[in-house]
């Protein structure tokens, strides 16, 4: 986290300490020193310094652009006109509702309408939870299907025929794709603050797909190969089916221990066991009832594949955490990734400093700040207010705006802004069309209809499977409904306030 302000360095350091940021004198840089740096030194400064004081609007834009050039995803938070240009330049612009913050709100990608910057942390956690659910569901669908295709290719190359028939492949998709992926898309993480900060442009998703596909194919191939030497081809096909389904369900449980995911996995496994054990149904599917040895071969291979996936994920995570020696900013990004798996801090993600290393503030600094605050209150000399029950206060024979009057005015302006925000929220939640005979009809918004139509077109062209399109659409509907409920709760809270 970086604090960029136009205030004096001492004031900026005090604000940083109030936020809980460890501050030392060598982490503060002023606007004059920043302008004197070369482009290369500026890139080094944004990685080492945390407090940027006496910065002009142009300097703020330069800092944001320098952070972007160094490979960071930058989010700029501001509430004034001096922050608007930097908010626009950042990857994610965040405006904070306050008096006189119209330019910041217009330039921002998202707005904290309650005016509290601490609301940003729950918003970040909500976004990370959404991405974690999407990543888990997509890795289940793509990784599982990749493993099935690989198993079919390997089995065909060894025996000359596919180890699974069409009905068995459909059974695998029904038991491992639709229900488990839907359960993962709505499950909650055990510890939201432990979620990693990776985004959709990172390789974590493709690593998960590759590991899942490789371990799934290995489990099914191993079980099928063992069964070929101990029984008939139909029995080998059944053992391979058991290993294929059980491996994918076990890997799904590694992604989430939510009760809905566990129940879905156990239900799919029980359904598979029931279908295989009933002679008539098993024969219809091209399977045969298995004995203890067959079940041990299938489930044992699946358990080994699940354990191998857990080990590989740990190895890949530890590899990602190691910094690149040739990248000067790699140690800092490595520290951020490591701490993102622990707790999400409110202060900067640097190593803590001892109290002796922190900057020394003047003892009368707090008193000076209080005096300046009182002076700002008294800047309303010459303005006359006729508030009911609050007579005008005189200072030196002139009208003076008291602190109570300013609070009343601020509350009135805030109430007007809140009502306007609630109105906009209500308008954004629904999309109404007027039909000649029906009248007004609420329908999904055009962008939602276009999204669902695109999924249907991809499925119709057989670019993706219908179960995949259905799961993605279901996840989108659930996320949209959750978002609308949050907006409704927020609007009701603002109306009550």
The tens-digit pLDDT sequence of the chain (497 residues) is: 888 888 888 888 888 888 778 778 788 888 888 989 988 888 888 888 888 888 998 999 999 999 988 888 888 988 878 888 888 888 888 888 776 567 777 888 888 887 777 788 888 888 778 887 887 888 888 888 898 899 999 989 988 888 888 888 888 888 887 788 888 877 776 555 555 555 555 677 788 888 889 999 999 999 999 988 877 888 999 999 999 999 999 988 888 888 888 898 899 999 999 999 998 888 888 898 988 898 999 999 999 999 998 888 888 777 765 544 444 444 444 444 443 333 333 333 333 344 444 444 444 444 444 444 444 434 443 333 333 444 444 444 444 444 445 555 555 555 555 556 555 555 555 556 566 665 666 666 667 777 778 888 888 877 777 888 888 888 777 777 766 676 666 666 655 55
Classify residue 53 as exposed, middle or buried by CB count within 10 Å of its CB (0-12, 13-18, 19+): buried
Q: Is 75 helix (H, G, I), strand (E, B) or coil?
A: strand
Instruction: Reply yes or no on domain 123-316 having CATH 1.20.1110.10.
Output: yes
Alpha carbon distance, N-terminus to C-terminus of the chain: 31
Q: How many CB atoms lie within 10 A of CB 44?
A: 15
**Token duo for residue 213:** 């596909």
Q: Which residues belong to CATH 3.40.50.1000 in the chain?
A: 3-120
Task: Of 6, 51, 8, give the one whose Cα is nearest residue 28.
Answer: 51
- What are the tens digits of pLDDT across the range 92-140? 888 887 765 677 778 888 888 877 777 888 888 887 788 878 878 888 8
Instruction: Tell whether pTM > 0.75.
Output: no
Tens of pLDDT, residue by residue over 367-414, are: 444 444 444 434 443 333 333 444 444 444 444 444 445 555 555 555
Q: Return d(Cα 88, Cα 203) in angstroms, integer.
A: 27
CATH 1.20.1110.10 maps onto the chain at 123-316
3-120: CATH topology: Rossmann fold (3.40.50)
């Amino acid at each position: 986290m970086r604090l960029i302000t136009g205030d004096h360095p001492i004031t900026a350091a005090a604000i940083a300490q109030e936020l809980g940021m460890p501050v030392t004198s060598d982490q503060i840089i002023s606007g004059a020193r920043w302008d004197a740096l070369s482009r290369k030194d500026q890139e080094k400064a944004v990685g080492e310094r945390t407090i940027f004081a006496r910065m002009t609007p142009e300097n703020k834009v330069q800092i944001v652009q320098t952070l972007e050039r160094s490979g960071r995803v930058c989010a700029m938070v501001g509430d004034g006109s001096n922050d608007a240009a930097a908010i626009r330049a950042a990857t994610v612009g965040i405006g904070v509702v306050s008096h006189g913050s119209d330019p910041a709100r217009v330039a921002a990608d998202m707005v904290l309408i309650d005016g509290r910057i601490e609301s940003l942390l729950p918003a970040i956690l909500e976004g990370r939870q959404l991405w974690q659910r999407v990543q888990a569901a997509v890795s289940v669908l793509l990784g599982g299907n990749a493993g099935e295709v690989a198993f079919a290719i390997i089995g065909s190359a060894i025996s000359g025929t596919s180890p699974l028939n069409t009905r068995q492949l459909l059974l695998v998709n029904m038991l491992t794709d639709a229900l488990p992926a839907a359960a993962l898309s709505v499950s909650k993480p055990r510890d939201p603050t432990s979620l990693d900060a990776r985004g959709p442009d990172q390789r974590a998703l493709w690593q998960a797909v590759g590991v899942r596909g490789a371990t799934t194919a290995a489990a099914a191939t191993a079980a099928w190969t063992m069964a070929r030497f101990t029984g008939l081809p139909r029995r080998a096909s059944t053992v391979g089916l058991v290993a294929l389904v059980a491996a994918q369900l076990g890997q799904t449980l590694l992604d989430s221990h939510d009760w809905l995911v566990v129940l879905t996995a156990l239900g799919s496994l029980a359904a598979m066991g029931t279908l295989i054990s009933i002679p008539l149904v098993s024969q219809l599917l091209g399977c045969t009832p298995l004995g203890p040895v067959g079940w041990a071969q299938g489930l044992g291979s699946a358990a080994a594949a699940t354990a191998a996936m857990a080990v590989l994920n740990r190895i890949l995570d530890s590899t990602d955490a190691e910094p690149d020696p040739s990248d000067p900013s790699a140690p800092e990004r490595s520290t951020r990734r490591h701490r993102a798996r622990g707790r999400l801090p409110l202060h900067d993600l640097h190593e803590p400093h001892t109290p002796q290393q922190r900057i020394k503030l003047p003892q009368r600094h707090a008193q000076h700040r209080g005096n300046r605050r009182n002076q700002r209150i008294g800047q309303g000399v010459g303005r006359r207010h006729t508030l009911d029950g609050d007579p005008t206060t005189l200072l030196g024979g002139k009208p003076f705006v008291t602190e109570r009057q300013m609070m009343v005015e601020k509350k009135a302006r805030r109430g007007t802004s809140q009502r306007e925000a609630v109105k906009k929220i209500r308008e954004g939640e629904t999309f109404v069309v007027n039909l000649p005979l029906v009248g007004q009809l609420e329908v999904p918004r055009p962008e939602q209809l276009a999204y669902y139509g695109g999924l249907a077109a991809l499925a119709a062209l057989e670019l993706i499977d219908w179960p995949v399109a259905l799961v993605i659409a279901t996840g989108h509907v659930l996320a949209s409904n959750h978002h609308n409920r949050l907006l409704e709760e927020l609007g009701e809270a603002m109306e009550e306030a």
